[in-house]
């Protein structure tokens, strides 16, 4: 009997040795935002690109409350790639408690600066709002509480010498829910920070008479980087027949310490080699370029991403 056990152990060892060595899977969890925003469709497109072009990559997409939640999840090791607004990334790196970061998030590393977000404030025409100061006394949804959008709202009102106290009513709702309230005449306006052509605002403009509220360039000058003067070009939304001055903020694809150099290199390389897939998923991706990818980053580049930019001649 002892002989049989010994033989069985030997056979088991031989089988284990002859079995092909299973390659370790690279797990990539992509942290996005609400499904009616821009991060989510772009995250889905990226997951397809990575799944098809990165060896042994197992990719999933997580819908979240966007920037602030994404950065905290990255710091906790609960994601490998995240979409986030430039000012939220800066706040996270510095550990700004008012922005939702109790301590500096030191593990964050950049993959690329991508397309800019634009502050898009849409108001029902019947509310008579055309400029930021016209929002005084009106009801406004400022995005989910402590989201990147809501942080933008606070900073922009602050720079205009206003606060939420000046508003008639403040709602903290995601894009799609804000639009539903406007359709039911329960809300005057929605403040949305996203890429141009977002689904919720397209839906709103198709069904209601809306005005896009202008934000003067001096607000951007006052706030400084990563804010800059921008424009919502005429025709971005149904019924919007003139350019609307507003503010732009760069979005950043962020990873973390602990993601291997090779994985970060591949995530960067595949992003730029398959930009057409991202552009097909959402027009906001037209704003992504290799040259702009390394500009104005408030956090260090991941060494894997840095290697790709050096190969491409974007960095010396």
User: For the segment 145-173, what is each residue's pLDDT rounded down to a tens digit?
Assistant: 888 899 999 999 999 999 999 999 999 99
User: For the segment 8-67, what is each residue's pLDDT rounded down to a tens digit?
Assistant: 444 444 444 444 444 457 899 999 998 888 999 999 999 999 999 999 999 999 999 999
Q: Are 87 and 155 in contact (CB under 8 A)?
A: yes
What's the pLDDT score for residue 24? 57
Query: Of the candidates 220, 249, 278, which is a domain's last residue?
Result: 249
Q: Give backbone dihedrals phi and psi of 137, rounded to 5 degrees, phi first.
A: 80, -5
Q: Is residue 3 part of a domain?
A: no
Is the domain of 226 the same as that of 215? yes
- Which two three-digit tokens encode residue 151? 């942080």
User: For the segment 96-139, what is each residue's pLDDT rounded down to a tens digit?
Assistant: 998 989 999 999 999 999 999 999 999 999 999 999 999 999 99
Is the domain of 136 the same as that of 217? yes
Return the bridge partners of 119, or none.
193
- Total domains present in the chain: 2
What's the pLDDT score for residue 2? 46
pLDDT at position 178 over 70:
yes
Q: Give backbone dihedrals phi and psi of 234, rounded to 5 degrees, phi first.
A: -50, 140
Query: Which of 155, 159, 157, 117 has the alpha carbon at shortest distance from 135?
Result: 157
Structural domain containing residue 54:
26-115+251-311
pLDDT at position 207 over 60:
yes
Query: Of the candidates 198, 217, 249, which is a domain's last residue?
Result: 249
Is the domain of 291 the same as that of 271? yes
Average pLDDT rounded to a whole number, residues 193-200 = 91
Q: Is residue 2 part of a domain?
A: no
Query: Which of 195, 297, 306, 301 has the alpha carbon at shortest distance from 255?
Result: 301
Neighbours of 200 (CB within 10 A): 23
CATH code at 72?
3.40.190.10
pLDDT at position 224 over 60:
yes
pLDDT at position 3 over 60:
no
Is the domain of 213 the same as that of 141? yes
Residue 12: CA count within 13 A, CB half-sphere? 6
User: For the segment 117-127, what is each residue's pLDDT rounded down to a tens digit?
Assistant: 999 999 999 99
pLDDT at position 85 over 80:
yes
Provide the phi-psi class of 84: left if phi over 0, else alpha when psi is between -120 and 50, else beta. beta
What's the pLDDT score for residue 20? 42
Q: Is residue 18 part of a domain?
A: no
């Amino acid at each position: 009997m002892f002989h049989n056990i010994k033989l069985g152990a030997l056979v088991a060892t031989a089988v284990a040795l002859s079995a092909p060595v299973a390659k370790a899977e690279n797990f990539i969890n992509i942290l996005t935002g609400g499904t009616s925003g821009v991060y989510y469709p772009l995250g889905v497109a990226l997951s397809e690109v990575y799944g098809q072009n990165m060896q042994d990559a197992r990719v999933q997409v997580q819908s979240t409350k966007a920037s602030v939640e994404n950065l905290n999840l990255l710091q906790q090791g609960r994601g490998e790639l995240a979409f986030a607004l430039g000012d939220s990334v800066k706040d996270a790196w510095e550990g700004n408690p008012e922005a939702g970061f109790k301590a500096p998030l030191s593990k964050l590393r950049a993959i690329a600066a991508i397309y800019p977000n634009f502050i898009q404030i849409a108001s029902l025409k019947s509310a008579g709002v055309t400029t930021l100061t016209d929002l005084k006394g009106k009801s406004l949804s400022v995005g989910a509480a402590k989201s990147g959008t809501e942080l933008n709202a606070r900073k922009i009102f602050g720079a205009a010498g206003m606060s939420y106290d000046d508003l008639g009513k403040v709602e903290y709702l995601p894009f799609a829910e804000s639009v539903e309230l406007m359709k039911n005449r329960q809300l005057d306006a929605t403040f949305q920070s996203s890429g141009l052509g977002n689904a919720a605002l397209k839906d709103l403009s198709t069904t209601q008479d809306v005005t896009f509220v202008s934000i003067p360039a001096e607000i951007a000058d006052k706030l400084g980087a990563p804010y800059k003067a921008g424009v919502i070009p005429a025709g971005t939304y149904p019924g919007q027949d003139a350019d609307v001055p507003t503010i732009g903020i760069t979005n950043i694809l962020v990873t973390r310490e602990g993601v291997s150099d090779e994985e970060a290199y591949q995530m960067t390389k595949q992003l730029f080699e398959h930009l057409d897939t991202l552009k097909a998923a959402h027009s906001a991706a037209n704003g992504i370029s290799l040259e702009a990818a390394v500009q104005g980053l408030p956090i260090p580049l991941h060494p894997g991403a840095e290697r790709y930019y050096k190969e491409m001649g974007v960095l010396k």
